[in-house]
Every structure is written in C-alpha cells, then in structure tokens.
Amino acid sequence: MEEISLTINGKNISCPPGTSILNAAMENGIKIPTLCHHPHLKPAGACRLCLVEDEKNGRIMASCVTPVAPDMVIQTDSLEIRKHRTNIIRLMIASHPESCIVCSQGNRCELRQIAAELGVGQTALYPMPHYTGLEEANPFIIRDLSKCILCGKCIRADHELVVVGAIDYNLRGFKSLPATAHEVPLEKSSCTFCGTCVSMCPTGALMAKNTRYVGSPQNESVTLCGFCGVGCSLVMGSVDGQIVEVNPSHEKETVNRSTLCVRGHFAHDFLNVSERLTSPLIRRDGELSPATWDEATESVAAQLISTKKKYGPQSLAFLGSSKCTLEENYLFQKMARAVLGTNNVDNGSYGSGKAVMNLVTERLDGGGRITPIAGLEKAEMIFVIGANPIQSVPVVGYSLKRASRMKGIPLIVADPRKTGLVPFSSLWLPLAPHSDCELINALAAVLYERKSYDTDFISRFTEGFDLYRDGLSSLDLERVSRITGLDREIIERAADLFEGKKVAFVVGHGILLQRYGVLAMDALLNLALMTGSLGGEGKGLYILARENNQVGAWDMGTVPDFLPGRQFLYNDMMRKHWEQAWDVKLSPDPGLNAIRMIEEAEKGNLKALFIMGENPVRSLPQPERIRKALRNLEFLVVQDILENETAHLADVVLPGAAFSEKDGSFTNLEGRIQSFKPVVTPPGEAKPDWEILDLLGVRMGYPRRHYSIHKIRDEISHLVPAYMELEREGEESWIKESSNLKLFHPDGQGGPIHFSPVITTEDETYDEAYPFTAILGSLRYHLGSGTRTSHSVRIKDFALKGEVEICTEDGAQLNLSEGARARISSPYGSISREVTLKKDLRPGLIFIPMGFHNNDAMQLIELTQLGRADSPGWKECRVKLEKTEN
Ligand code: SF4
Ligand code: SF4
Ligand code: SF4
Ligand code: FES
C-alpha cells in the first residue's frame, strides 16, 4: 500500500495509511503530550491533550484519533496549541484535590508532569474538587477517584486487555467516574486484582496498596515475572535494595502487552521476607549454624566426593529447579553428569507432565516448539483441553478471551468443570474426568466420516494415515458417549467448528498430569496432523508450562533422560557429542527421576542428595514420607532463597540469589528466551546459584571454571543448537527449531511425521469406598505448591481459604451446606476444608485448589504411582467426603 507523506514540525515524514498523527510523530521522535493514550489500547480521544494543528487549514484536532492524510502540515507545539493544552490542564487541576504533596504517585503523576512542562501551577480558576471516598478495603488496590481525570484507560485496560469487565463509567457528566456494577467494592466485583488498570492510571486515582513503602521508588528496572511459564515483562521499583513495587513493562513487543496477573503484580513479597537465607549454614550438633562460604563449599564438595568414592556415583542425586535460570540448570546437570558421573538429575517440574512431553518430543522430533501466544488471536479455531489458563497462566487467558470476544474466533473448551473461559467459548464440552483421549478420537472419527481432513498436508508431511483411519472407522462412538458423558450431537457440533479449520490446541495440566495423559496427547497429535494444524502462525500446540523456566530446565538437560538440547541420553551418538564437549566419559546408566530419588533414599540406596531451588516436602505427594526419606540420607544439601520445610532437614544450606538479584535467562512457554539483569543485590551473603555451582565444581576437581554468566551462555550457545542465539546481549531471542522432520526442516528435506494407531482407554471402575473424583488444580492466587506465593501478606489478607468445590446435589446428600467443613480422604491421607457449593459441577466430582494450607492436598496422592515412566500424574484422585465439626 502506498505510504502517505506529510510534514510534522517541518520534518518530512511518510507512513502507512491509517497511522494516527500521534503515532507518526512518535515514530519520528516528536513528542506530543498525552494522558489517555496507551500503545496497547484503542485510542479514545478522551483527554484532548494531544491536540495538533494543520497549518494548511488551521484545523485543530486530537492527534491520537486522527489518521494522517496526504500533504498535511502539522504543528504539534504552536502558541495556539499550547494555549489550548494549558486551558485543558488548568481545568483538570481545578477539579483535582490539593493532595499532591502526600500522593504516592509523587513525581510519577503524568498530570503533574505535563502541568509542570506547560508552566501551570496553582490554577487561577476557582477550585472545584470532586471529593469521593477513599476505597481501600481490599488488600491490593486503593481507589481515590477524586484524582480521576476520566481518561478511561482503566476501563479500556479492563475491557480490551484483560477482558474482565469489572468496571465501567457510572452516571454522566461531572459526576461520571469509573465504577463497578452497582458500585460494589472491588472485592465484591468480578475484579481479579491483576492491577493492569492501576499501572495505566496517569494520576494517583488508582494505586497499588503497598505493604512496605509509600512513595516513589529510588530505582526502576525492567525484569521478568518469577512465577509462571508466560514470562511476563515487568518493572520492579526498589528502595534501599528492597523491591517495593511491581508494574508491567509498557514496552510494545512484550508477551504480556502491559498486563500482569495478581501473582505478578502483588505476590513478589517473598523477595523481601525475613525467611530469606542470608548466610551459608552447616549442621553442627544437630543444629544449623552460620558458616563461611569456604567452610560450606568445602563441606559439600568433600561429602559428595567421599560418598561417590564409598558407594559409587549412583548413590548421589541432584534435584534442580525450573525456577532457576537456563545457565544455572545447565551447570547443575553438568555438575551431576560431568563432575560426579551420575545421571540422577531432575527438576521440580518432573510432576508437570514429563511423560507427555517425552511423547511430544519423540513424535515431533523436537519440532513445533515455537508457538507465540500472540498467534492465538490470529487462529482460525481454538481448542482448549484440560486447561484453565484464566487461573493457571492468566495472561494466556487474556489472549484467549480477546481472541473470542474481539476477534470472533471460535473457541471450544473441553473441561469437566465450568471454568472461567467457558462463558467466552462457542461450545463447552463438559466431559467426564480422564476421558479426553476418547473425546479426541471421536472428534477425529466424525471428521473422517465427513471426509473433512487436510489431504495435502497428510500426503506432504505424514505417514501412517491408512492405519490411523482404519482405527477411526472402527471406533465405537456409543462407547465414547458413555465414557465421556457427551452425546453424539454435541460431539458433532464440536466437529462442525473444526471443519476446514487450522486449529490452535491449548493443552494444560488436565492432560499433562492425567492418568491417560500420554494417550490423550498421542490422540491430539493425530488430530493436529489430520487437520493440518502444525507448523505456522495461529495453529499448533500451546502447552501451558506452569513454572517460569520449565521449558528451559528441560532444554538444559536437568532431567534424567535428556542431555542438553533434549538429546536422549540413551542415544550413543548424542552422549559421545557431550563427552567430547566436556572432555569426560559420561555414564550411560539411566538416571533417577525426582520420585525415584525419594524411593531410593527410602531404601537406603541413595546416600546424598543436592536440592537446588525446590521444596519437595511441600511440593511432592505424601509429605511425611518425603521427610522420612530425606532423613534417611547420609548427606542433604539445600541451596535455596527461602528457609523452608526441606531446608530444615539439610546438613548444609547454601543461600541463593532470587531472579531479581542476578543475571540470567528463562525460556517461556512459547519458546521465547529472555535474559535479565539484577534489579537489586542479593541479601547478606547470598550468591547467584550459578556462582555457587561454579565454586563447587572447582572444589570437586572440575578443571574448568566458568567465572561469568557470559562464559556459561557462550558454552550453551555453541553446544546446544536450539540456543545458538542465547548470547545476543540485551536482545530477546527465540529457540531454534532443530527437528529433522520435513515440516520443520528449513530445506523441507526431512522425514515424515507418523500417525499413531488409535488407542482407547479402559472403562472406569466405580470404587464404593472412595466414590468421588477429586480434581486438584490452581487458583490464580497461588502458583504450584505456594512456597513463594504464601509469603504474600496481601494474598493472605484476602482471606482465601482454598475451599473445596462440591456440586449442590452432592452437598445436599452429604448434608454439607455452604461454609460447612468436610474431611476429604483418599487411601493415602486426609485433609479438611471448608465447602463451597457449585451448581455447575458434575455430581461425583469435587475440586481442590492447590497451594493452600501448606499444599496439604498432596497428602491425598500416592508418591510411587508418579515414579513410573507412564506416570498417571496427580491431577485427580479417588476420595470420600464426610462432614466434620472443625
Ligand atoms: S481512575 Fe485513573 S485511569 Fe481510570 S479514568 Fe480515572 S484517571 Fe483514568
Ligand atoms: S485490577 Fe484488573 S480486573 Fe480489576 S478492574 Fe483493574 S483491570 Fe479490571
Ligand atoms: S501470567 Fe505468569 S508470568 Fe505473567 S504475571 Fe502472571 S504469574 Fe507472572
Ligand atoms: S491522548 Fe489524544 S485525546 Fe488523550
């Protein structure tokens, strides 16, 4: 399309048609003051501050809502324009309360800044402040709407970005203000306390309720969120070396587009708590007491080496963390394999669907890994299965809501529960728990019956379709309906939405951690191949990683069976490659995963365990069993940022630095590699984990020290092809597809992707003793086991009890009313929770939120069943319910 030429402040400019005058000016370095504009919001033309003048005809217009036109001669700062702007600001100041001196927004208030630039001080107009009450009952947001200038950014952020609809304008004219429906307090509205509106407010009308500090931070630095796999870009403000404030970064190309969720905005309190570990500790006479770094590293090195000498390398194990950086994960597994000769290395995200991910890696040969979240809003159809992103990875939830509401993209949600995404969907498939595999096969069978599949894609990129379609033709759809609880008609309606479309498959823990997860994923990959939905924008697999660097930890080989680059340990060629790179002989013996480590400790075979950044006593099933197994070890090292249940059992504790206190990189769930710099220094004597590992390596006789993060990055980028761009300092990069399959191979010369045969699951058997199926899942306030989020005073103050959800009929039958207390028991343990009744829940199903009450829900699951290669996961378990008095 032909560009439009115009002049702004005497400068010749050309830009695409449809560009606003404001954007054209900004892109050419010309600043125009604004109060209601934001690059991620639709222009509203509300504040009129961005006025400019067309010298050719004297027209004055709001530049944010006026598109460029050929031959315009724009002036952004003429006398006339300054006069108008000054008047607008004077009117705003006249209706503003005189509380600037005590306002927490301080010098960051955009109204004050613009007033100062225009020389507007005490206005000559008669002050007409618009007093409203201060609303601060909730622990997250303070609203002082007397400072509101009606820019509407908060309302647009709420509607256009996070798609909640908690606030809108009430009333009209001078009395109009952003308000909740019926003006209820925020905590009684649908607000999710994401804080996105707060970070957009140009004045102090909306402010974060800080727990430690009121005023402007001394420093502000861009970094990443330390919680889930979305990897949101944020700005942390600090005072005296402590993080006091978090806001989304407002840069254009971030994954989160100026939004955050409640965790990212309000749950980083753990960084400042008194439970931070600040000096190395060594157990002496039964007590952990402070030690020097020399003493602690010498003790760890000597104990690990002597254990290896005495019992062999299989007596050692290393449990790392998907919260630690790429560089730290790489060094951690290298220390285990190259320095100590064991493949007993895993990370805490073992329980996040490793068996399912192995299947994806094997079937797609590591391809199809780059699926940008932004692509969801360009999809032809979205199928969300076993995922509740609105709670688990909220920023992905925002994208899905926008895709459906604003782009009209058909969205199917397959979930036993009526999740928050269901109201945004075109169709909800309320299938029975763990019947996903059956549903997916049935959808494929109906599409096959209708001859609706992508023959071109199938013939170019796949193999084995004949066998697969034989399986589809003989599928018993009546049995599927019985098992899934979905009748043929609703399956046909879902197939209608699939017909002729390339599909984005969004897959969460409901599949990754499910008993039939591997079968369900196998079936899903077949469906993706059949519909030609792999390899391209807005389609393919969106696997929702829970932890911030889960993808990266697996890529760096902090799992027993993958060497770095997800190269299988059993592959002799791959092992040789790493032997040459590290100049050592590597053990071909399969390593222990996190569960098997515990089992071997129970049996007395595992003698020493090094845990970095994990709290297995809280995060793994059967906490008492874990405690006992850890006590059975001869030597336990815990390297962490926080004092926790596991650190209390350690022989040596090494204090690590949090992500905000060190250099590092994470890979998010899309395959985006993001590097970051420290915002503050680590507390006390704490050190970055990579530095501690580097010191230990030398103490244990490894001849090559890395000395700096850059040297580690350099090694990774040279040895792991997918990470060849890691060292691009200061720039964000993406992992590279390294698959040999034709679809993902740059020259199209690779091999085909195979269809798997259709496999069906076993019929469910009813267990009279444990008649309920409990689904264990997330609520947005806690991540995982809640080790970090439970340190947030604000989240605690919100009075979250982690109530168990029960359907109204079951509640009536068990005499359990709203707020009553129930004991929930499985064959492995029992917990007690308050009850909340849900009318949309299917009878026989209950929901237990994770992370609450020291993550006690893990008492209901058996540890051993997770250790198998075809791990059934911990997403659901059989339980019974009884009413209790306390
Ligand atoms: S509360 Fe803030 S963001 Fe919302 S309309 Fe008022 S000034 Fe604008
Ligand atoms: S905090 Fe988030 S959900 Fe609540 S009103 Fe603001 S933007 Fe909407
Ligand atoms: S969506 Fe995830 S990464 Fe983003 S703010 Fe929330 S917890 Fe942090
Ligand atoms: S920025 Fe253009 S009207 Fe407010």
Instruction: State phi, psi for 522 to the nearest 5 degrees.
Output: -60, -45
Residue 700 tokens, joined: 């244990």
Q: Which atom of ligand 1 is nearest to the CA of 145?
A: 1
- Centre of ligand 4 to C-alpha 34, Å, is 5
Pocket test for ligand 3, best of 393, 542, 549 (most atoms within 8 A of CB): 393
For residue 584, which of 344, 342, 343, 339 has the smallest C-alpha distance?
A: 339
Is the C-beta atom of 109 inside 6 A of ligand 1? no
Output b/e per residue, 492-523; b: 16+ Cβ within 10 A. Answer: eebbebbeebbbbbbbbbbbbbbbbbbbbbbb
Distance of alpha carbon 118 from the chain centroid: 42
d(CA 811, CA 813): 5
Q: Which ligand is nearest to the CA of 44?
A: 4
Q: Which residues contact 119 (CB under 8 A, 6 or more apart)?
A: 86
Closest Cα to atom 8 of ligand 1: 151
Q: Which atom of ligand 4 is nearest to the CA of 33?
A: 1
Q: Which ligand is nearest to the CA of 66?
A: 4
Q: Which residues contact 494 (CB under 8 A, 6 or more apart)?
A: 412, 427, 429, 443
Structure confidence by residue, pLDDT tens digits, 585-601 = 999 999 999 999 999 99
- Centre of ligand 4 to C-alpha 166, Å, is 23
Determine the Cα angle at 865 with ends 862 and 868, to 5°: 155
- Centre of ligand 3 to C-alpha 780, Å, is 9
Residue 285 tokens, joined: 């006479």
d(CA 209, CA 605): 51
Does residue 232 contact residue 260 with C-beta atoms inside 8 Å? yes
Is the C-beta atom of 36 inside 6 A of ligand 4? yes
Is the C-beta atom of 41 inside 6 A of ligand 4? no
Helix, strand or coil, per DSSP, at residue 345: strand
Spatial strand order of the sheet with 141-144 comes to 134-135, 141-144, 206-208
- Centre of ligand 1 to C-alpha 264, Å, is 22
pLDDT of residue 354: 83
Q: Which ligand is nearest to the CA of 226?
A: 3
- Centre of ligand 1 to C-alpha 149, Å, is 6
Q: Which residues contact 455 (CB under 8 A, 6 or more apart)?
A: none
18, with CB counted inside 10 A (0-12, 13-18, 19+), is: exposed
Pocket test for ligand 2, best of 38, 41, 194, 200 (most atoms within 8 A of CB): 194
Q: Which residues contact 70 (CB under 8 A, 6 or more apart)?
A: 4, 5, 6
- Centre of ligand 2 to C-alpha 260, Å, is 10
For residue 756, which of 520, 535, 500 has the smallest C-alpha distance?
A: 520
- Centre of ligand 1 to C-alpha 202, Å, is 7
584, with CB counted inside 10 A (0-12, 13-18, 19+), is: middle
Closest Cα to atom 8 of ligand 3: 264
Determine the Cα angle at 650 with ends 646 and 656, to 5°: 75
d(CA 830, CA 835): 15
d(CA 756, CA 54): 65
Pocket test for ligand 2, best of 153, 196, 259 (most atoms within 8 A of CB): 196
Pocket test for ligand 3, best of 140, 161, 228 (most atoms within 8 A of CB): 228
Closest Cα to atom 4 of ligand 2: 191
Written as one letter, the residue type at 465 is F
Closest Cα to atom 5 of ligand 3: 264
**What's the pTM value of the predicted model, to 2 decimals?**
0.95
pLDDT of residue 247: 95
d(CA 409, CA 290): 58
Is the C-beta atom of 49 inside 6 A of ligand 4? yes
pLDDT of residue 495: 98
Is the C-beta atom of 199 inside 6 A of ligand 1? no
For residue 607, which of 574, 625, 633 has the smallest C-alpha distance?
A: 633
Distances (CA, A) of 192 to 138, 171, 189, 266, 391: 12, 24, 9, 12, 10
Instruction: State phi, psi for 519 to the nearest 5 degrees.
Output: -65, -40
pLDDT of residue 390: 97
- Centre of ligand 2 to C-alpha 760, Å, is 44
For residue 183, which of 143, 140, 129, 128 has the smallest C-alpha distance?
A: 143
- Centre of ligand 2 to C-alpha 259, Å, is 10
| Helix, strand, coil share (%) of the chain residues, nearest 5 | 35, 20, 45
Residue 593 tokens, joined: 């995963």
- Centre of ligand 4 to C-alpha 247, Å, is 23
pLDDT of residue 331: 97
> Ligand 3: residues whose CB is within 6 Å?
225, 227-228, 230-232, 256, 260-261, 263-264, 393-395
- Centre of ligand 3 to C-alpha 547, Å, is 10
Output b/e per residue, 409-432; b: 16+ Cβ within 10 A. Answer: bbbbbbbbbbbbbbebbbbbbbbb
> Ligand 2: residues whose CB is within 6 Å?
157-158, 162, 164, 166-167, 191-197
- Centre of ligand 2 to C-alpha 197, Å, is 6
Helix, strand or coil, per DSSP, at residue 847: strand
d(CA 224, CA 246): 10
Helix, strand or coil, per DSSP, at residue 737: coil
Pocket test for ligand 3, best of 161, 232, 322, 778 (most atoms within 8 A of CB): 232
Residues of the chain short of pLDDT 50, as ranges, are none
Q: Which residues contact 361 (CB under 8 A, 6 or more apart)?
A: 566
- Centre of ligand 1 to C-alpha 46, Å, is 11
pLDDT of residue 624: 95
Spatial strand order of the sheet with 672-676 comes to 664-667, 672-676, 733-734
Does residue 220 contact residue 110 with C-beta atoms inside 8 Å? no
Ranges of H-type helices in 230-287: 262-266
Closest Cα to atom 2 of ligand 3: 228
pLDDT of residue 141: 95
pLDDT of residue 37: 97
Does residue 700 contact residue 301 with C-beta atoms inside 8 Å? yes
Q: Which ligand is nearest to the CA of 778?
A: 3
pLDDT of residue 173: 65
- Centre of ligand 4 to C-alpha 16, Å, is 21
d(CA 85, CA 87): 5
Closest Cα to atom 4 of ligand 1: 154
- Centre of ligand 4 to C-alpha 38, Å, is 9
Q: Which atom of ligand 1 is nearest to the CA of 155?
A: 4
- Centre of ligand 4 to C-alpha 65, Å, is 8
Output b/e per residue, 67-93; b: 16+ Cβ within 10 A. Answer: bbeeebebbbebeebeebbeebbbebb
